[in-house]
Structure 1
Amino acid sequence: MTTTDHDDTPGIADGRLVDELSTSTLLSAEEFKAAFRNHPAGVAVITADPGDGPVALTATSVFSVSATPPLLVFSVSELSSAAPAITRSTSVVVHLLGADQLGLARLCATSGVDRFAGGWAWERLGTGEPRFLAAPDWIRGTVVTTLQAGTSTLVVVNATHSSGSADESDRTDGRGARPLVYHNRTWHELSERSAV
């Protein structure tokens, strides 16, 4: 731990930095969104069932945190109709989407619709969570903790099961060759031609 001679520097330990950040206007919501439009993100669909029916949502906030233990994080906006059920769930399935699942991404990003009413085949895992069959790569995990962050909730998940191959070179079905990416309010697919 580093110490400083500047006693007037706000610090997280005494809460002054947190108070300062929460009361100051650093960026407007639109400025913040505009900055992130140039930052592409992978697309995933999160499914869960807290006991009162399956829910799903599209997320671009999924990222790995640790390999040992295997942890991932995603955020859920309070504006999502699936947010209350996702945040009450003790387990989730994270579907990592490719370009072939663009329709599924759009469906689960649409507010107020039943994502399980038909059109996309799904099943329940042996542990009870809903899983869309069209998504070849998925990770099932248990929710370790949640953290309220502004108008969203961060969900930390301990991965327990995965469909993905441990070695990409072992794949013969082409899965994962065309990842789906969201950039500047538009869906994109990556391919070997996009490599630099």
Structure 2
Amino acid sequence: MPSNNPVTAPSVLAPSSSSPLVDDADLVEGVSADEFRAAFRNHAAGVAVVTADAGQGPVALTATSVFSVSATPPLLVFSVSSLSSAAPVILAASSVVVHLLDTNDVELARLCSTSGVDRFADETSWGRLATGEPYYLSPRIRLRGRIVNRYEAGTSTLVVVNVTHTASIDQPEQPAVPLVYHSRTWLALDRSAALS
């Protein structure tokens, strides 16, 4: 269901007030939270870090829920758990930076998924865009965008981002190897894993 204070979005993105994201009549009972988590533990996912600052200071979180939705307009989606300490700031922000990680960034992924630590203590590891958003220096691919909608979904919120800027860093001396998360483990996805 749309949040009470959604950011105004282009008409093609605006949810219909009569069409909730999930219709209660369609919900199926009988799957425990542990069963659901166990199923998705076996589903490998790419790893990203999301950063934002709504005026109270920078926050970051590691996300395996980032995916592209549309190229025209360029939209991506990620989810934020209500249990995340970064959730209030990210949900109050008007824009975010999404960092798509590779294996060179596994320590950043760990940092931003660890509770109770200052994710910005190392002042040499991050900076701010001209538009004010915090960003980490090491990831090769960064996407800056405006949050155009938020949808409450269970204990999480789906965040829709209209990407307005991209940055890609070429590091030929360190080939990019995708970082994936599977069964509670960080893994490198290299060409040897190809099936054809």
TM-score band, normalised by the shorter chain?
0.7 to 0.9
Instruction: Identify if the C-alpha distance between structure 1 residues 174 and 70 changes in structure 2 by more than 3 Å, giving closer, same or farther.
Output: farther
Structure with higher RCO (Cα < 8 A, 6+ apart):
2
Deviation, structure 1 residue 21 = 4.1
Partner residue, 1:151: 155
- CA deviation string 1:76-97 (max 9, x = no partner): 0011000000000000000000
Deviation, structure 1 residue 173 = 2.0
Structure 2 CA distance for aligned equivalents of residues 33 and 108 of structure 1: 20
1:182 aligns to 2:181 (yes or no) = yes
Deviation, structure 1 residue 111 = 1.1
TM-score normalised by L of structure 1:
0.84
Partner residue, 1:42: 46
Residue 103 of structure 2 contacts residue 176 of structure 2 at CA under 8 Å; is this kept in 1? no
Range with greater deviation from structure 2 (186-195 or 142-151)? 186-195
Pairwise CA RMSD: 2.1
Deviation, structure 1 residue 112 = 1.7
* Count of aligned pairs between the two proteins: 177
Structure 1 CA distance for aligned equivalents of residues 19 and 56 of structure 2: 42
1:162 aligns to 2:166 (yes or no) = yes
Structure 2 CA distance for aligned equivalents of residues 30 and 61 of structure 1: 18
1:65 aligns to 2:69 (yes or no) = yes
- Give SS of 1:139's match: strand
Deviation, structure 1 residue 129 = 0.5
> Unmatched 5+ residue regions in structure 1?
1-12, 166-170
Instruction: Identify if the C-alpha distance between structure 1 residues 119 and 49 changes in structure 2 by more than 3 Å, giving closer, same or farther.
Output: closer
Deviation, structure 1 residue 26 = 3.2
Q: Which has the higher helix share?
A: 1
- CA deviation string 1:23-52 (max 9, x = no partner): x52311011111111111000000000011
- CA deviation string 1:83-142 (max 9, x = no partner): 000000000000000001100000000112110011761000111101100111110000
Residue 104 of structure 1 contacts residue 120 of structure 1 at CA under 8 Å; is this kept in 2? no
> Unmatched 5+ residue regions in structure 2?
1-17
TM-score normalised by L of structure 2:
0.84
